[in-house]
Amino acid sequence: MIRTQNHVQRATGTSKLLGGLAALLVAWLAVLATGDVASTQTKIVEMCVFVVLASMWNLLAGYTGLVSIGQQAFVGIGTYALVVFANGYDQDIYFSVLPAALIALVAAVPIALLAFRLRGGYFAIGMWVIAEVVRLLVKQYKADPIKGGSGTSLNVPVSLYPKVDRFQTTALIALALAVVAVSVVALLLRSRVGLSLQAVRDNEAGAAGLGVNVYRERFFVFMIAALFTGAAGAVWYLLKIRVQPDTAFSVGDWTAPIVVMVVIGGIGTVEGPVIGAVLWYLVRDYVTSSDSVIHFSDEWYLIYTGLIALIVALYAQRGLWGALQDRFPRLQVFPIQRRLVVGDEVAVRGEDEGNG
């Protein structure tokens, strides 16, 4: 083979600029998180939790074709694992997020082995059924610390966890979790595995025909999604305190808005779900507040945004971010693309750096 000075460019001008802006935004949110405005901290937690949930759902549905409407199973498992560690074993509530996430990961193994036997729509419904079964099982456990269907509250004595302190810490944890989750998604997609995930997204049979082990990639991604979804659920309840199976495992509270956010923001893109989740929250915040010209209840807001998502799914499949990318092909926040620069075989200049 001819030695060439080929190389692959990853970052683009926009990715450097937008990446820098994103870092500034995170820094600003960190400043807000350490402030003393509880309502701002609540918003940061809610938004960051949904950024994590939306990014993970998108990783599953947008890249591996695993459209799950049962991700609330992992929200609930993470939440109840937090309750067990914090209330049952008297562990530090913040520390308990870690084992809670790991429990969600462990639970994902048998769930995947079961649900992966189903395809397409059957998988989607199957996941929902699994989430319902877990919810009902949790409800049956009437003893401490779960306390069955009537639910329980996370033990946060103010002597140990002063409210201002808890809001600050939780907001910072939520922000850190969102940054880590989105970075994991971006780094994963940037990697060799990510190339195959994008291939699977676009054409599953084509990817398999080129040597991609689709089952293994799906399994791997399902585990990552469970880990972060469980962590996100636990972080949410660090703030909300009151835990009930019917809300922690609710499809309407979790997976329904997640799907709406991902579809509107742009399924199968890294940036789309983040933008979708943030937009969805900002707009909801406005239209459910009293100073808005038009006023919606939370339920009507979900219904209206659901309708918008339906229209987007029909007419602009790759959502807001996808539409922008169609117009500006090199637009990206995270440098995932690989742009080949074919080397000049005569003029040997620069290094031939490995990449890929």
Q: By CB under 8 A, name the binding residues for other proteins.
A: 1-2, 4, 6, 8, 192, 195-196, 198-199, 201-203, 205-214, 268, 329, 337-340, 342, 352-356
Residue 123 CB, nearest distance to other proteins (Å)? 18
User: Contact 242/151 with Cβ under 8 angstroms?
Assistant: yes
User: Contact 232/79 with Cβ under 8 angstroms?
Assistant: no
Minimum CB distance to other proteins smaller for 2 or for 31: 2
Q: What is the Cα–Cα distance from 62 to 308, expressed in whole angstroms? A: 18
Residue whose entry in the numeric block shows the structure tokens 């922000």? 175
Q: What is the Cα–Cα distance from 207 to 33, expressed in whole angstroms? A: 43
The two three-digit tokens of residue 298, written as one number: 């939370």
Minimum CB distance to other proteins smaller for 164 or for 348: 348
User: Contact 169/179 with Cβ under 8 angstroms?
Assistant: no
Minimum CB distance to other proteins smaller for 245 or for 265: 265
Minimum CB distance to other proteins smaller for 215 or for 300: 215
266: left (phi over 0), alpha (psi -120 to 50) or beta: left
Helix residue spans in the chain (DSSP H): 13-33, 38-58, 64, 72-83, 97-115, 120-140, 163-190, 192-202, 204-209, 214-240, 245-248, 255-265, 271-287, 298-315, 319-327
The two three-digit tokens of residue 269, written as one number: 């893109």
The two three-digit tokens of residue 309, written as one number: 């998502």
Residue 333 CB, nearest distance to other proteins (Å)? 16
The two three-digit tokens of residue 325, written as one number: 């990318």
Residue 196 CB, nearest distance to other proteins (Å)? 6
Residue 42: count of CB within 10 angstroms of its CB: 15
Residue 341 CB, nearest distance to other proteins (Å)? 9
Residue 205 CB, nearest distance to other proteins (Å)? 6
Minimum CB distance to other proteins smaller for 295 or for 338: 338
Residue 10 CB, nearest distance to other proteins (Å)? 12
Residue 220 CB, nearest distance to other proteins (Å)? 14
Minimum CB distance to other proteins smaller for 2 or for 294: 2
Minimum CB distance to other proteins smaller for 192 or for 327: 192
